[in-house]
Structure formats: structure tokens, C-alpha cells
Amino acid sequence: MQELQERTFVMVKPDGVCRGLIGEVLSRIERRGLKVVAMKMVWLDEERARMHYAEHADKPFFSSLVSFITSGPVVCMVVEGRNAIRAMRSLCGSTNPIEAHAGTMRGDLALDIGRNVVHASDSPASAEREISIHFDPAEILDYERCEESWLYE
């Protein structure tokens, strides 16, 4: 991979799936120029959900977060591109949709912090950890998109 190319973990949460927003989320990721290199729809079990949100285990909202994320199917993805981790966080917007700027997914598509449609890793360490929770290495595919010379100098 090119220098600065990164991979990040992205998930359309159950509210996004049940509101018919999978295509909207995917479309924003693709239009930004980011490449989806792995994707699957799953219904998370409690164990994997707790592992995914382990950093929040001591927070008061942890049990409601785990029940919400296991309440319906999610779409899990690995997204690749230059500075993909920061690019995905900026596409998502602030955690609380009321504070998220218009133009971001949370700012445009959500109202409640507990129903904010999309997850994206917040750092290289989180990305590596989250990708390994949800994907086997063989599920991550290497291919070229046609516009790479127009995306990157």
C-alpha cells in the first residue's frame, strides 16, 4: 500500500440498517474516494458487541449500548484510503448528532446520541483492534478502483 494509506473499521448500526440508510452511508463513503475492501451484514452477538465497545465497559450507557448494537443487523466494513481513519471520522461527524455539522452523516441523518447511524474507528490502534474483531484477514480484498490517479497526487 502507498504511504499514508490506511484501513479503518466502519459499521452501519442497527438504526441505519432498519431506516434503510445502508446505501446512503455507502454512497457517501464511495463518493469521498474511499474504497470498501471488506463488507458483510451480521447480527452481532453480545460477546462480540462487548468486545467491540470494551473501552466503554465502565460507562453508565454501556449496557444500553450493547443491547442497541445487538438489536438488529449491522453492516460491517473495512474502508481503505489515504488518511482513511480521519476521513471516515470527518464523514461521520461528532458523536452527538445535535453537535454534528450539517454535511456529515450524523449531522444530516440523526438526532440522538444513542441512535447515530454509523461507527468508525477513532485511531490506528482502534482500527486494527476492531478490524480483527469483525474480520478474518482473508475477508479483506485487494483491488484497484479506476480513479486512483485522479484521487491522489
Residue 114 interacting with ligand IDP (CB under 6 A): yes
Is residue 101 part of the annotated active site? The answer reads no
Nearest-angstrom CA–CA distance, 114 and 8: 22
Nearest-angstrom CA–CA distance, 35 and 151: 11
Distances from the Cα of 45 to the Cα of 8, 12, 16, angstroms? 21, 16, 18
Pick 70 or 126: Cβ nearer Mg ion: 126
Q: Which residue type sits at 98? A: I
Q: Is 106 annotated for ligand binding?
A: yes
Show the cell assigned to 108: 444530516
Pick 36 or 113: Cβ nearer ligand IDP: 113
Residue 61 interacting with ligand IDP (CB under 6 A): yes
> Which positions from 83 through 122 interact with Mg ion, judged by CB under 5 A?
122
Nearest-angstrom CA–CA distance, 23 and 17: 9
Catalytic one of 52, 56, 101, 119: 119
Closest of 31, 56, 47 to residue 119, by C-alpha = 56
Contact flags string 116-145 toward Mg ion, x per CB under 5 A? ------x-----------------------
Residue 116 interacting with ligand IDP (CB under 6 A): yes
Binding site for ligand IDP (CB under 6 A): 56, 61, 65, 95, 113-114, 116, 119, 122
